[in-house]
Amino acid sequence: MTEQAYVTSDLHIGSGEVDPQLEDFFQDSEFVRFVDSIAQPDTTLFINGDFIDFAQIPPYEVATPNHLLWHEDASVEKLELALKAHASCFEALGRFLSRGAKLRFLIGNHDLDLVWPRTQARLRGLFGNPSADALRFTVGIEEYHGVVIEHGHSCTPENCPTAVNSFLHAWTDASGQTRDYLERVWGTDFMLSFYNELERRHTFADNVKPMASVRSEEHTSE
C-alpha cells in the first residue's frame, strides 16, 4: 500500500452552545466524512495547529502578570467543553486511529493548551490509548518525506511565544500556590480583551478578511 498524508489546519473548534456567538466551526459532518474516507493503514493526518480555539472557550480568566495566560486546570476544563460540543469529530479521529492510521497534532497559537500532559492524556484516552507512534503532539515542526509542516504562528511575532518551543512559565499566585502557566502572546491577549466581545456583537466579524479591516472599521466607528 502506498503511503499518503493529508494536512488540515485552523478549524478553530469552540464550545458550541456554551458560548455560541464565538463558535466558528459548523462543518462537523463534513469533517467526519473526510476523516472516515481517509482512515486506513499507511495514512497520516497532520492537524496543523489551531484545531481547538481555547481562547474562545470559557473560562476566560487569566493570571495577573500580563505575560501569562491560564494553568493546566483551565485548559482541561476548556477541552471538555470542546469534546462535548463536537463529539462526532473526536469520535471520527478515534476511528481513524483504530484503523491503523497515524495522527499528528501540531500545536498552534490558539491551542498551546495541547502541550499539557493532562490534555494530551485526555485525548489519548478518548482515542483508545493508541501508541506513541500512532498519535503524536508536536511543538514545532513535523517532516514528512522531506516536506516540512509548520503552523504559521512561529513566523508572526504577535502570535509567537518568546521561545517558540518553550511557553510554560511558573508563577506563584496570591495564595502562595506555584504552578505553570501558558504564555499569553499578544494575539491571544487581543482576542480576550477585545476581539471576542466584538465577535459577540458582530458575528460576521470572523469572516472579514484581512483582519486589518476589522481593526480599521472598529476604529472608524468610534
Element (H, E) at 135: strand 135-138
Mean pLDDT of 150-157: 94
Q: Are 216 and 34 in contact (CB under 8 A)?
A: no
Mean pLDDT of 95-117: 98
Q: How confident is the model at residue 213 (pLDDT cuts 50, 70, 90)?
A: low
| Pairing between β-strand 142-144 and β-strand 68-71 as defined by DSSP bridges | unpaired
Q: Are 79 and 19 in contact (CB under 8 A)?
A: no
What pLDDT was estimated at residue 211?
Answer: 61
Phi, psi of 177 (to 5 degrees): -85, 130
Phi, psi of 15 (to 5 degrees): -105, 15
Give the other-Cβ count within 10 Å of 159's Cβ: 19
Nearest to 81 by CA among 136, 135, 19, 11: 19
pLDDT at 220 over 80: no
Q: How confident is the model at residue 212 (pLDDT cuts 50, 70, 90)?
A: low
pLDDT at 206 over 50: yes
